[in-house]
Structure 1
Amino acid sequence: MSQIDLSQLPAPEIVQQLDAVSVRTRMLNRYAELQQVDSPKPGDPLYFAFSSMAEEVTRARQEFQDISLGNMVAFSTGNNLQQLGALRPVEKYDSETDEQFRRRVQMAPEGFSTAGAEGAYLFHALNADENVLDTSVDSPEEVIVNQYILSRNGNGAASDELCRTVYEYVSQAMKRPLSDKYTVFPATIIPYRIEAELEMLSGPGEEQTIAEAEKRLTELVSQTHILGGTVSLSALSGAIHIKDVDGDAVFQPVIDVNLIEPQSKIVCNKSQAPFCTGIVVRRKGE
């Protein structure tokens, strides 16, 4: 099933965003029109009063825009997202991130049907147990449905108990067609290790750069730990080719990256998931 990637959707402009200068100009011109006087100039107390009001109007419009986006699944977070999920109804697990929960909320309409369609099988399996991190469905032959489960625990290999829980939940009356020959399998885990050397000039910020590289790799590893996940060498190298970082911390820019492991791209099928067993990042020459 192909879902719309909500993270790629542009934020709609609920309220037109105006800069404070244009708002102030409109106010000054309107004041001059109503009072039949010249528009106040800088230094005039009225000019400063209208400037202050224009800033408040601009801020209020931005706040209203942000509040409005908080009522949309694509942009909502925290309690707002949980309230939107309750309308489906889908309840957030304690161990879920907002992005993981958002996926289930987005998929909720699939659950209005029995699990005949791929999306319905996915939704019901994700709702079967909190420990289901990801799932996929394959139908190699007519009426045969194989479902693969990636666990939230350990390296992702689902236990027999978790597979049985999913099977029993999805097999409940009204959740899937009785004619389907349905089987649940644990995901096959494809282990790999990341080892990289960073070429940097000597100077302050080396440790901060290495720490930032490890952080970025950890985030990338988490994002690709899914069924059918792909770990590309270019993504790994790009993540740690650090040039500049926002904030006050001092970083040493990376000149080049020597990616030692993995040596080739990792591509998993629907029954497999990549799992990183360790991350080692060091300065070249150490």
Structure 2
Amino acid sequence: MMQDLTHLQNPNVIETLDYETIFTHMKDELLRLDPSFSALLESDPAMKILEIAAWRELLLRQRVNDAARANLLAFANTADLEHLAAFYDVQRKSGEDDEAFRRRIQAKIMGWSTAGSREHYRYHALSADIRIKDARAESPSPGIVKVSILSHEGDGTPSQELLEKARSVILRDDVRVLTDTVEVVSSGIIPVKLEAKIYLYPETPEDIVETSKAALIKTLNETKGLGWNLTRSWIIAHLFAQGVQRIELLKPAEDVIVLDHECVALDSIELTMGGRDW
């Protein structure tokens, strides 16, 4: 399974920068070299020069941070990401955003295998069309490989045309392992009904309920994928916003556990204000 790059800690090469810290270090160094500057006023020209120098150093070190990020898969964007991908012989597809492109690069790296690994088939499925959100390869029996396709469109069920497009790529002689019989199928879609009561603090405006609803739908659609379980704790955590006192989650009654070839889909969502409380 691919590592979630968003959970990585910031690398040591990326500095945490603070203007006041840089300015103080410069001022202390000036006093060390020439103690006569100990009585500098805020309006003194020497102070202005120090301020300019500290600001310039902050910008320079921030540029170094940006350059370091541009060389890391977790942080690189746009053209920088394309240059990283070129090292792995991966090209951005027309209309493909950075996050989808990043996932394909990861899949290509993990899919380097002479035996046709899960990620090998996943990479080629994702490369077939940008409408494919996720793909999962399983082997239910020796020599049989089943590749499930999840679409960005609708509830995630791929159209027949999209399945055929994925199939035409995965079954190519340079992709399919000679000893594999490969099936390309639609992923299983697990509909979920969500119902919750949101309790607010006395001063919180009621429109926070609709704001929370829109934010949850957006985050769920971005996060879900094949084999991803929708837990009650995840729902509650993503319904909380500034001004929400507590959440009473009515549906689902328990965590939604899916198989590797399945994905949750929000069938309906009903959020109501349960009241106000401290």
If the length of structure 1 is used for normalisation, what is the TM-score?
Answer: 0.84
Which residue of structure 2 lines up, in the alignment, with residue 24 of structure 1? 26
Distance 1:172 1:276 in 2: 35
Distance 1:131 1:17 in 2: 38
Distance 1:206 1:160 in 2: 43
Which residue of structure 2 lines up, in the alignment, with residue 225 of structure 1? 224
Pick closer, same or farther for the CA change 1:51–1:159 going to 2, 3 Å.
Answer: closer
Which residue of structure 1 lines up, in the alignment, with residue 155 of structure 2? 155
Pick from 256, 260, 267 the counterpart of residue 270 of structure 1: 260
The offset of 1:236, in angstroms, is 0.8
The offset of 1:263, in angstroms, is 2.0
Pick closer, same or farther for the CA change 1:202–1:94 going to 2, 3 Å.
Answer: farther
129-138 vs 154-163, which moves further:
154-163
> Does the 8 Å CA contact 1:224/1:274 hold for their aligned counterparts?
no
Q: Is residue 68 of structure 2 the alignment partner of residue 78 of structure 1?
A: no
Pick from 251, 257, 263 the counterpart of residue 261 of structure 1: 251
Which residue of structure 2 lines up, in the alignment, with residue 142 of structure 1? 142
Unmatched 5+ stretches in structure 2: none
Deviations 1:206-250 (A, max 9, x none): 21x2133113311332144311121111111121122x3xxxxxx
Which residue of structure 2 lines up, in the alignment, with residue 58 of structure 1? 58
> Does the 8 Å CA contact 1:107/1:123 hold for their aligned counterparts?
yes
- One-letter code of the match for 1:177? V
Pick from 259, 271, 275 the counterpart of residue 281 of structure 1: 271
The offset of 1:47, in angstroms, is 3.2
The offset of 1:136, in angstroms, is 0.5
Which residue of structure 2 lines up, in the alignment, with residue 184 of structure 1? 184
Residue 82 of structure 1 aligns to a residue whose secondary structure is: helix
Deviations 1:251-275 (A, max 9, x none): xx22221212222211110121100
The offset of 1:38, in angstroms, is 2.9
If the length of structure 2 is used for normalisation, what is the TM-score?
Answer: 0.86
Pick from 33, 36, 39 the counterpart of residue 38 of structure 1: 36
> Does the 8 Å CA contact 1:41/1:47 hold for their aligned counterparts?
no
Which residue of structure 2 lines up, in the alignment, with residue 10 of structure 1? 9
Which residue of structure 2 lines up, in the alignment, with residue 213 of structure 1? 212
The offset of 1:100, in angstroms, is 2.1
The offset of 1:112, in angstroms, is 5.0
Which residue of structure 1 lines up, in the alignment, with residue 233 of structure 2? 234
Pick closer, same or farther for the CA change 1:283–1:179 going to 2, 3 Å.
Answer: same
Which residue of structure 2 lines up, in the alignment, with residue 249 of structure 1? none
RMSD of aligned Cα (Å)? 2.5
> Does the 8 Å CA contact 2:200/2:275 hold for their aligned counterparts?
no
Distance 2:83 2:254 in 1: 43
> Does the 8 Å CA contact 1:138/1:146 hold for their aligned counterparts?
yes
- One-letter code of the match for 1:197? K
Taking only the aligned residue pairs, the percentage that are identical comes to 27
